[in-house]
Each structure stands twice: as structure tokens, then as C-alpha cells.
Amino acid sequence: MSAAAANGAAAGTAIVINQLRKGFYLDSVALMRFSRSIAAMPGVEEAALMMGTPANRRIMADAGLLNQTGEAAGGGDLILAIRAKTRPSAEQALTQSQALLDQPAAPGVGATAWRPRTLRAAVKHLPEANLALISVPGDFAIAEARKAIRRGLHAMIFSDNVSLAAEAALKQEAQTLGRLVMGPDCGTAIINGAPLAFANNVPRGAVGIIGASGTGIQEVSCLIGQYGGGISHAIGVGGRDLANEIGGVSTLMALDALASDAATAHLVLISKPPPAAVMARVLERVAGMGKPVTVCFIGAGIMPMPVNATQVFSLKDAARTALGLRQNGDTTPLKAPSDIRAPAERIAGQNTVRGLFSGGTLCAEAQAIFIAADARVASNAPIPGAGQIPATPPGHQLLDLGDDSYTRGRPHPMIDPMVRDQPIIDALSDGAVAVILLDLVIGFGAHHDPAGHLAATVMTHRQQDGPVVIASVTGTEADPQIRSVQIAKLEAAGIHVAPTNADAAAWSLLAAGPTVAA
């Protein structure tokens, strides 16, 4: 049981209770889920169950959740912190928190199954292990990855919050050792048919993908599957691999490997536009590889390409080009379904698109579609040509809700769709919003029913003459959530579902009308 006695203190009129569990570790996702259910209890203003690292303690102090008990916690201690209107509610919440922590592990895991604590012991247990999948907090993630590559494993680092210098040092060592480091902040990979972290159940085939973005890989791999093709391997490299400080170490290693991989006939490369020096190095390697390559630098302008490479400007076109379904210069005709309300019927002032994305690259792709249509757009994660929020005046806003500034101390919206509820509710009652544009990403790692949750939120909070809602679903029929089932749930709630994220963006522009054109 708890190592320290409960310690109550009044903060204003509220009651703050902190309790410590010494040396009790649980991963942050589980803790955040617990925090949420405690915070939802009657009379509870705020609640957090967190490991007592300095950063976490600061977050809790800022949230008015910390008293001297919690302040004394160490990094290996779990803090249970509750702020409630009355002492009885606070104590009830504390009791409930303890019960959550003490509930037995889910059955089926095997109560007596041995689990190694260290990579060293795990490798002894599974000597042929060839990949470490790492999702522990940032600083620790680098240390674990270093151990992995030194033991001859490749590493995929899902964790973020890693310094650029640490990433550079790790990747340089990995290069020397000939080991691949995917990440940090690598959300998706498919190696030899095995989906890692947030990936979809896509058919195997001849297209190899290298991506600096998780949702970009997911959208392209799913569309390739939908269009009748398949994936040999999808290699994530992390969002900063092409930064000058890193120099594209992992991207170049992945290019070399796929160049000589017999299963891969065509490559797709997805990234934000890299800096010039790195871009030159990458395109030089592309030029020498003797296989056709589709290059999608989301947000980049037209640039010279090697003869074996084709530049595309959307994820959708990347998928079509890789399968030979699209010739250079061919643009997809945009046609919104006739039942989307025409701009003329909108009430005055209702003329902007509010995009609320869980996928960063899906948000970037939507911005690219807007910019290509000469629509003025702003984002918290702007691509070249888009305005920076909050500095930009009101207009079309495409927000990446998976960005660090939204996810610190909270689950990612792909894991917990509830994170997106409040922005959606706000937009539904915002008189300036004509269209709410959403993505929905399913597959391994994602929430078990994001469409059901989204449909319920929209149906509960939609208003007479409020904005229309347009969405797309990134996923496959073989995913646990089943794409067609998710689409049906959205459509039953009156949400318009476009075949791709790019189409959804285009539809939303048509539905919002030309009012905010640049």
C-alpha cells in the first residue's frame, strides 16, 4: 500500500490531496487513463496520477494539484493528486485511484509468466530478436535504443521529447554499427508484414515506403491497399531525420536497404520539405538507386527531380503514382457530393473551415490542398505558405491536435478521441465556421471505435444551421476497427465521409465557398 500518508491542504476553497507510492511505476498512458476517470468523478475539479519527475511535478504544480507531499516526490515515485470541492469528494477520489492502481492485471497475460526487466535479459530469452520497439519516456528511450543497437538490434523509437543532439549522436553510432534507428517520434512502421506501433493491416506488395511521418505512411499505405496494391516495407525515420543536424542518416540507410530489397519494386518517400543540403544528398541517393521513386515533400514547391523520380504534392497522389494510376500533370477532379449544403444557403459570416486533425501529416496535406486552391489558411503547424496560429487573423484554420503543445500530459487524440471533443464542440457553435474538417485514423494502436465516439459528440452538440462536418477515414477493412464500419457510423450521424484526406480537404473548400480566398 501507499508509502506516505495522505496529506490534505486547502488551495483557495478547494481541497488538494497528494499521496505518494514509493518506487511504483506504471506507464504514462495507463496513468493518464486513470487520471481521466478520477477527474470525471463528482465533486472532483482536477486529478492526476503521474510519476514524480521534475517536469511532471511542474505540470501538476501549474494545475494547482501539488502540495508539499507531492513536491517531495522523486522520479521513481508515483504521485496521486486530487483537487476537489470538498474533502469527502477528494477522499472518495483517492480511494478510487488506489483501487484502480491495485486492480489485478488483465487476465490472459499469465499471472506467473516471467517478464525480463532489461534488454540484456530479453535478448538472452529471445536470441534472434532483431528489433527493439521503444515507447518509454524520451531520455530513457535514447538509453534503451543505444543498448539495443550495441547488442545488434535495430531500434524503433516511438517516444518523443528527445533532444536533437541526442538523436544525432545515437544515429551516428547506429550508422557506424550498420543498425537502423527509426525515430524518435516514429509512429508507424511495417517491417516484413509486421505492423509496428500505429500501423494498418495492409496487403503485402511491391511498394516500399520511407516516411518522416507516421500518419503520412498510414494514409499512403492504406490508399495503396485500397487501390489494389500492397506494401513491401514501410520504414519510419522520425520527424527530424532530414534536419541538418541529423543529415538524413536513417533515410539514407533505408533507401540503400530498399534499393537492394528484392520485394520492393517502387519506392515512396514522404517528408516535410528538407533543408537544401540534406535534400540534395537524398535526391542524389535516389538518383543512383535504379528503381522508380515517388517523392512527396508535403508543402514543397516544384523542384528538379532525378529521371527515376516523380514529385507529387499530396499523399493521395503519392499512392496513385506508386501504382502507375496517375501520369505527371494529371490532377484529380474535385467533386463534392450534391448533398453537402451549397454556400448560398449558409447564414451570413459562416465562411471558414476549421480543421481538427489527429494526424500531423494529414493536417499538412490539407494545408497543401488549400494553398494549391489559393485559399488563405493558418495552422499551429504551418507548411510553407500557411500562416502561423495564433499570429494570423481569423480565416481557415487547420489545427494539428497531435502536436506536442496539445499532447503534453494528455494522451494523443488517436489513442483517446475524447481529447478532440472540446475543440469540436467549440467549432460546432462557432458562428464563423462553415465546415469542420476531420481525420479519423484507425488501425493497430488507435482507439477501438473513434467513429462511434465522434458520431456521438457531433450528434449531441450539433446546432440548427451549424457547420457541416466532413471527414475521411485512414484505415483498411482488415484493421480491427474495420474501415467500412467506421464510415457507416459517421454517415449515420450526418457526417460526410470523403474517400481520402485530400478529397475531404477539397470538399471542405467547396462547401465553405470562395469567401476567404487569398
Name the residues that contact other proteins, by CB under 8 A.
23, 25, 27, 29, 51, 53, 74-77, 112, 114-126, 128-137, 140-141, 143-144, 148, 152-154, 158-159, 175-180, 191-197, 201, 232-233, 253-254, 256-258, 260-261, 263, 444-445
- Smaller CB separation from other proteins, 74 or 394: 74
CB of 225 to other proteins, least distance (A): 16
Please state, in angstroms and rounded to a whole number, the distance separating the CA atoms of residues 84 and 48: 12
Q: Which residues of 229-243 are buried (b: 16+ CB within 10 A; e: fewer)?
A: bbbbbbbbbbbbbbb
Distances from the Cα of 147 to the Cα of 120, 152, 173, 284, 378, angstroms: 8, 9, 11, 32, 42
Quote the strand ranges of 183-230, DSSP E.
188-191, 194-197, 204-211
Total Cβ atoms within 10 A of residue 171 = 28
Is residue 3 within 8 Å of residue 74, measured between CB atoms?
Answer: no
- Smaller CB separation from other proteins, 233 or 346: 233
Total Cβ atoms within 10 A of residue 73 = 26
CB of 397 to other proteins, least distance (A): 31
CB of 57 to other proteins, least distance (A): 12
Distances from the Cα of 429 to the Cα of 345, 433, 467, angstroms: 17, 8, 8
CB of 326 to other proteins, least distance (A): 27
CB of 408 to other proteins, least distance (A): 17
CB of 111 to other proteins, least distance (A): 9
- Smaller CB separation from other proteins, 24 or 461: 24
Please state, in angstroms and rounded to a whole number, the distance separating the CA atoms of residues 273 and 382: 12
CB of 187 to other proteins, least distance (A): 11
Helix axis angle for 276-287 and 249-259, nearest 10°, is: 10
Which candidate, 461, 511, 486, places its Cα nearest to that of 354? 511
CB of 213 to other proteins, least distance (A): 19
Q: What is the DSSP letter of 177?
A: H
- Smaller CB separation from other proteins, 144 or 430: 144
CB of 79 to other proteins, least distance (A): 12
Q: What is the DSSP letter of 158?
A: -
- HEC string of 105-119 equals CCCCCCCCCCCCCCH
Helix axis angle for 28-39 and 87-102, nearest 10°, is: 150
Q: Phi and psi dihedrals of 96, rounded to 5?
A: -65, -40
Q: Phi and psi dihedrals of 57, rounded to 5?
A: -65, -35
